[in-house]
A and B are shown apart, each in its own frame.
Chain A
């Protein structure tokens, strides 16, 4: 018989059950003939079994949340988005001006709801209300008697047709309006007042994110606000009225400015 000599590698592979059957038979025959080697190999086999038994339970433990793959993937996606948006913002600062705005518009729809959404619009409307409503000298830049000029100007700057809501049925006259700067581009402000001098403002601008959002109330102190977005245009009505009085006015505005109205 011309047998290949048994090697130490064969013995290790025998322990790990990694030999093909003919070779395994040869190793078994060898071990029968060499009890001292067989004792050593038996020691390795017991050692292997003990290690497996000792560590097996670890793999059966429930995974902690930190090791959830879905979570880790999501966390990575979020940090990448944040990083990417930060890079885009840095680029915007560098470019500035008109180029910055068009880039911003190109970038923003990728971003999830957040910056620039209706929450931001609500804040912008509240700020505009705080600045312009108390103004006794020139609350509006273009007065109601030049409504057509205001509408043409605003439509050109917002790059979409602008409609002036009519609140006369609710007792509020249109006073006029102006363009307002926001971190998300130009917005148009319309102002209304009633016989007692109560002033309301409607702020409207294109929405890069949250292009369609249901109406949300945001009231602070005596000033209430209702904000929503329809087909890429956001609106926010702000005024010193109780929310339950301002709400029907917001509904009226929404009805009038609806794209299919």
Chain B
């Protein structure tokens, strides 16, 4: 019980972050994390002792998130960018990063969910490629190709927009 507290508790904030980035809805994401934690508590004794708690928890959460997203799709409800909770992004990225928040949000939302998941797990959650492969239940090669495709798509989407904006900025100056 005690090692469960010690191992799981520090992971709750990252789990929330991943859920919110995937679902783009604060309440739905927290529901999902709660669901994930309840399952983790119930299955704690079933987890492989040699497996690390982080991959295990992210895998539970990821599967719940994918189920949720597919259910929403089946019901014909596409979560549009405009519908997404504004509080998903609580802070503006700094100006020198040169990427506009709306653009980032829109571009990320446009990615296929499998590419979005890999990018978030690797770029934001700092999972290794092997850990991401475990979470997603795919070979590492698949992780790498999804990562490459997703990043390229995101880059192109983001580079179109700043170009348009720069001309406007120049006019103001």
Q: Which of B48-56, B72-80, B96-104, B163-171 contacts A (4 or more CB under 8 A)?
A: B96-104
Q: What distance in Å separates the Cβ of B98 from its nearest Cβ neighbour in chain A?
A: 6
A15 at the binding interface (Cβ < 8 Å): yes
User: Chain A 1-31, CB within 8 Å of chain B: the 1/0 string?
Assistant: 0000000110111011010000000000000
Q: Establish whether residues A8 and B148, one from each chain, have CB atoms under 8 Å apart when the complex forms.
A: yes
Q: Establish whether residues A52 and B123, one from each chain, have CB atoms under 8 Å apart when the complex forms.
A: yes
Answer whether A55 and B17 are a contact pair too, CB < 8 Å, given A9-B144, A12-B151, A47-B99. yes
Q: Establish whether residues A54 and B30, one from each chain, have CB atoms under 8 Å apart when the complex forms.
A: no
Tell me the chain B residues, 1-43 only, with Cβ under 8 Å from chain A: 1, 4-5, 8-9, 12-14, 16-17, 20-21, 30, 33-34, 37-38, 41-42
Among A11, A63, A67, A70, residue most surrounded by chain B Cβ atoms (within 10 Å): A67
A73 at the binding interface (Cβ < 8 Å): yes
Inter-chain contacts of B104 with A (CB < 8 A): 47, 50-51, 54
Q: Establish whether residues A72 and B37, one from each chain, have CB atoms under 8 Å apart when the complex forms.
A: yes
List 9 additional contacts besides A53-B91, A69-B12, A72-B41; criterion CB under 8 Å. Answer: A12-B147, A43-B159, A47-B99, A52-B123, A53-B94, A54-B89, A60-B13, A73-B5, A76-B41
Q: What distance in Å separates the Cβ of B56 from its nearest Cβ neighbour in chain A?
A: 15
A58 at the binding interface (Cβ < 8 Å): yes
Query: What number of A-B contacts does a CB cutoff of 8 Å give?
Result: 112
B128 at the binding interface (Cβ < 8 Å): yes
Q: Establish whether residues B91 and A73, one from each chain, have CB atoms under 8 Å apart when the complex forms.
A: no
Interface residues of A (CB under 8 A from B): 8-9, 11-13, 15-16, 18, 40, 43-44, 46-61, 63-64, 66-67, 69-70, 72-73, 76
Q: Establish whether residues B144 and A12, one from each chain, have CB atoms under 8 Å apart when the complex forms.
A: yes
Answer whether A12 and B148 are a contact pair too, CB < 8 Å, given A63-B12, A64-B30. yes
Inter-chain contacts of A51 with B (CB < 8 A): 104, 108, 119-120, 123-124
Inter-chain contacts of A58 with B (CB < 8 A): 13, 16-17, 20-21, 88, 90
A70 and B5 alpha carbons, distance in the complex (Å): 8
Q: Establish whether residues A55 and B37, one from each chain, have CB atoms under 8 Å apart when the complex forms.
A: no
Inter-chain contacts of B59 with A (CB < 8 A): none
B122 at the binding interface (Cβ < 8 Å): yes
Inter-chain contacts of A15 with B (CB < 8 A): 151
Inter-chain contacts of B137 with A (CB < 8 A): none
Q: What distance in Å separates the Cβ of B114 from its nearest Cβ neighbour in chain A?
A: 16
A52 and B18 alpha carbons, distance in the complex (Å): 11
A180 and B16 alpha carbons, distance in the complex (Å): 57
- Of B33, B105, B148, B155, the residue contacting A47 (CB under 8 A) is B155
Among B1, B34, B104, B123, residue most surrounded by chain A Cβ atoms (within 10 Å): B123
